[in-house]
Chain A
Amino acid sequence: MHENAKGSRRMIEEVFGAGRYELADELVAESAIGHDPALPEPSQGPEGVKEGARGYRDAFPDLSMRIEEVVAENDLVALRWTARGTHRGDLFGIAPTGKEATVTGITIDRWAGGKIAESWTNWDTLGLLQQLGAVPAAATQTA
């Protein structure tokens, strides 16, 4: 497998999925920028990634990440993943519900100099809020 793809995979599975935060130092450039719809502003460097991962794992301590597909081309790696975890800590100001949630997402990493230089993630934030009961799951459409 492409080395960059291996690294991107480890980022999702190990940093986010297993809480191996120190691995971010190895995989993420100091100047890296991370985009995630759940972050109030883009994350900066390895510390920003660790902070984001801690935020998710504080809310979902048993968080697991499964990589469904990986596509690598030139300096880009795209991953389609599924996350699963139990809501046991505050998330976006929502008190723990004890509910388990499953959400999917896609991350695209740009690699430079052997490290992730920029990362774009889009994941099913609405689906998570629906599963936690913060947003109706079957809203009635109005004309």
Chain B
Amino acid sequence: MPLAFPSPDHLPCPDCGASLPVAGDPGHVCDEERRLEYRLVELRPEVERFAVEFGAWLETPDGRFAQFIAEQDR
């Protein structure tokens, strides 16, 4: 039998991250809590990038003006 590039017996479910046999797990149903947690982890870099960019924008004239308006409307 020819050798093949090693591959794992399990891989994470693309929707919830649960470890599933590569051979297949027809009984798998994503747990909703795990699915949401997994999605949040996936989005973390995007959320962090937004926080940095938003912080920088708040320091611009437009950002400072938006903060001033927000204070007035509070």
Which A residues lie at the B interface, using CB under 8 A?
A: 84, 86, 95-104, 124, 126-128, 130-131, 133, 137-141
Q: Tell me the total A-B contact number using a CB cutoff of 8 A.
A: 57
- Complex Cα distance, B37 from A89, in Å, reads 14
What is the bound-complex CA distance between A104 and B5, given in angstroms? 17
Shortest CB-to-CB span from B42 to chain A, Å, is 7
Assess the B5–A86 pair: CB atoms within 8 A. no
Given contacts A84-B19, A86-B17, A131-B19, contact A99 B12 (CB under 8 A): yes
CB neighbours of A97 from chain B (8 A): 17, 41
- B7 interface neighbour in A84, A101, A133, A137, Cβ under 8 Å: A137
Number of B residues with CB within 8 Å of any CB on chain A: 18
Complex Cα gap A108–B27 (Å)? 35
Query: Chain B's interface: helix, strand, loop or mixed, by majority?
Result: mixed
Contact A102 B19, beta carbon cutoff 8 Å: yes
Q: Are B12 and A131 in contact (CB under 8 A)?
A: yes
- Enumerate chain B residues within 8 angstroms of A103, measured Cβ to Cβ: 8
**Segment 1-40 of B: residues with Cβ below 8 Å from A:** 4-12, 17-19, 37-38, 40
A98 B10 Cβ-Cβ under 8 A:
no
Say how far A95's CB is from chain B's closest CB, in angstroms. 8
- Given contacts A84-B19, A97-B17, whether A131 and B38 have CB atoms under 8 Å apart is no
Residues A102 and B10 in contact, CB atoms below 8 Å apart = yes
Structural contact, B17 and A127, CB atoms closer than 8 A: no
Known A96-B41, A97-B41; contact A137-B8, beta-carbon cutoff 8 A = yes
A137 neighbours in B (Cβ, 8 Å)? 7-8, 11
Q: A96-B41, A98-B37 are in contact. Are A138 and B7 (CB under 8 A)?
A: yes
**What are 30 A-B residue pairs whose CB atoms fall within 8 Å in the complex?**
A84-B19, A95-B44, A96-B41, A98-B17, A98-B37, A98-B41, A99-B19, A99-B38, A100-B12, A100-B19, A102-B8, A103-B8, A104-B9, A124-B8, A126-B6, A126-B8, A127-B9, A127-B10, A130-B7, A131-B8, A131-B10, A131-B12, A131-B19, A137-B7, A137-B8, A137-B11, A139-B5, A140-B5, A141-B4, A141-B5
